[in-house]
Amino acid sequence: MNKELTKYYSAGHSACAGCGFPAIVRTVLGELKTDVVIANATGCLEVTSTLYPYSAWKAPYIHNAFENAAATISGVERAYEALKKKGKISKNKKIKFVAFGGDGGTYDIGLQSLSGALERGHNFLYVCYDNGGYMNTGNQRSSATPYGAFTETTPTGKESFGKIETRKNLMEIVNAHRIGYLAQANVAYLTDLKKKAKKALETDGPSFLLVFSPCTNNWKFPTSQYVNVGKLATETNFWPLYEIENGEHKLNFEPKKITPVTEFLKTQGRFKHLFKVENKPHLEEIQKLVNEEFARIANLCEE
């Protein structure tokens, strides 16, 4: 076992073989310079890392409920400030507060507590690993599930081509709180994620990271492929890498040549039905959505 990588999050967790989020958790926490308290929304990460009687966490870690990871961490942060004021914690002791949530616990169920915590301006980092659905309960759709994807609650067949709604734009929602630092990253680009985690942890006040985390089991690709699938998502502009620092947009990766989004879609079984002749308009629709969103972000970055 690699000692350096397992300083906060150890091996022995029961995430699926070839899962994307352990690398995200280790990379983000690897950038810590101080002590840390971690809160975690219900989700794959929480379920697989705290299998009784074992906990994979070597740092103080709280799981509360699905909807309130951000509220929990803001409470911890306030308690720390209060204890410092009373002299029960040394003034020199620095602690960073980090919350992890999946897309279900962030986009859907935990959105209001996240919004509240961002607005109150607590000194914490929120990391959302986005695997596009409720994966540990068997792949139900979330508001992060992409258009056209098969899930248990958006089945495909004669009457349906998968999810009919487009993804919620969480970066825009978080950016509306005008926080100091937020970024969209991808687990396949760990150097980029590392830089972003460092910046986010150094931010005084709330910061936010949205990280792409491919799911081998429910996106239906072989266990060895999460890095390749992640790379294709960014190369096809499906998942652009960008950051917003004090209101300034910056694009972190611009593909040299444009790859059609079908290259990304065909790596996964959840989009298999889209390659049937009758679903061709939906494939074109996805390409159009991707182009529009990338052009919008690129435009903001140029300003």
For other proteins, the closer of residues 50 and 279 by Cβ is 50
**Contact by Cβ (8 Å): 258, 295:** no
Q: CB 126: neighbour CB atoms within 10 A? A: 29
Distance between CA 135 and CA 137 in Å, rounded? 5
Beta bridge partners of 36: 96
For other proteins, the closer of residues 166 and 228 by Cβ is 228
Binding mask 22-41 for other proteins (x = CB under 8 A): xx--xx--------------
Q: Which of 33, 35, 54, 281 binds other proteins (CB under 8 A)?
A: 54
Task: Decide if residue 88 touches other proteins (CB under 8 A).
Answer: no
What's the closest the beta carbon of residue 54 comes to other proteins, in angstroms? Answer: 4
Task: Decide if residue 175 touches other proteins (CB under 8 A).
Answer: no
Q: Checking DSSP bridges between strand 242-245 and strand 248-251, what pairing results, if any?
A: antiparallel
Rg over alpha carbons for the chain, rounded to the nearest Å, is 19
Tokens representing residue 120 in the block: 């109150």
What's the closest the beta carbon of residue 17 comes to other proteins, in angstroms? Answer: 4
Amino acid at residue number 160: S
**Contact by Cβ (8 Å): 108, 134:** no
What's the closest the beta carbon of residue 129 comes to other proteins, in angstroms? Answer: 12
Q: What is the DSSP letter of 54?
A: -
Task: Decide if residue 258 touches other proteins (CB under 8 A).
Answer: no
Q: Which of 1, 86, 159, 277 binds other proteins (CB under 8 A)?
A: 1
Distance between CA 233 and CA 21 in Å, rounded? 16
| Prior bond of 53 cis (ω within 30°) | yes
| Candidate segments 1-9, 80-88, 135-143, 169-177, binder of other proteins by CB under 8 A | 1-9
| Candidate segments 55-63, 95-103, 119-127, 237-245, binder of other proteins by CB under 8 A | 55-63
Binding mask 180-219 for other proteins (x = CB under 8 A): ----------x-------------------------x---
Which residues inside 110-139 make contact with other proteins, applying CB under 8 A? none
Task: Decide if residue 233 touches other proteins (CB under 8 A).
Answer: no
**Contact by Cβ (8 Å): 126, 208:** yes
The overall longest dimension of the chain from CA atoms, in Å, is 69
Q: In what order do the strands lie in the sheet with 95-102?
A: 61-63, 35-40, 95-102, 124-130, 207-212, 181-186, 242-245, 248-251
What's the closest the beta carbon of residue 107 comes to other proteins, in angstroms? Answer: 23
Which residues inside 212-231 make contact with other proteins, applying CB under 8 A? 216, 222-228
Q: Residues interacting with other proteins, by CB under 8 A?
A: 1-3, 5-6, 10-15, 17-20, 22-23, 26-27, 50-58, 190, 216, 222-228
